[in-house]
Amino acid sequence: MEPQPEGSERVESNMGGYAAALDYDAELMVRVREGDDASFAVLLEKHRLPVIHFLYRMVQNQGVAEELAQEVFLRVYRSRSTYEPAAKFTTWLFRIATHLALNSLRDTRNEKLQERLDGVSSALPTRQVLDTRPTVEAQLVKESRLGEVRRAIAALPEKQRAAVLMHKYQEMEYTQIANILNCSESAVKSLLFRAYETLRVRLAHMA
């Protein structure tokens, strides 16, 4: 059995019957609320890259994504004193990230977004390939196809894009996405159906 983190007894006493359902991230955030900055560092280390990846796919600009991610975690830290674990920590975290991303897209709606055709930034994992021509060519084809998929997702309406990214890349369930987007599960299913149908048509040549 995994050892309980130091201070878990205090969390359980404060949370009462809810403690059994409290996920570890929420438990860490409760500790942050109580003044434990080391727990915030753990949350930052765990979730920083997933948040940047999500924001990058939303806004299609690495610099903006990193700035927005900083703002996300700044808001999390500023809200520590009022935090209540009513939902999963990641639901709260991605609600903040989605709100900031949508606001950023609205602010720049009339500007042409810069496409980064040279691949994802160095913050994302890189793949090592053998230095032989067939393997290199295969990798270039794969990267080209991935680029097409990313651009097709980026072209979706904003809420459809957010829903796809959370469903496909963050592997969230309908309930969590609905909580983040502040809509019903049926609305999420409708967003995803329309998005995946659009992607199916746009990417049909890749089948």
Mean pLDDT of the chain: 80
Angle at 162 between CA 60 and CA 188, to 5 degrees: 165
Structure tokens of 43?
């949350």
pLDDT for residue 120: 41
**Percent of the chain at pLDDT above 90?**
61
- Give the whole-angstrom CA distance, residue 162 versus residue 166: 6
pLDDT at 39 over 80: yes
Angle at 165 between CA 37 and CA 24, to 5 degrees: 30
The domains found in the chain, sorted by start residue, are: 18-109 (1.10.1740.10), 142-207 (1.10.10.10)
Distances (CA, A) of 144 to 38, 83, 119: 41, 43, 9
At 155, which amino acid appears? A
pLDDT at 157 over 60: yes
- pTM greater than the 0.75 cutoff: no
64-110 pLDDT, tens digit each? 999 999 999 999 999 999 999 888 999 999 999 999 999 998 886 64
Average pLDDT over residues 117-134: 42
Structure tokens of 132?
């032989």
Structure tokens of 112?
């042409």
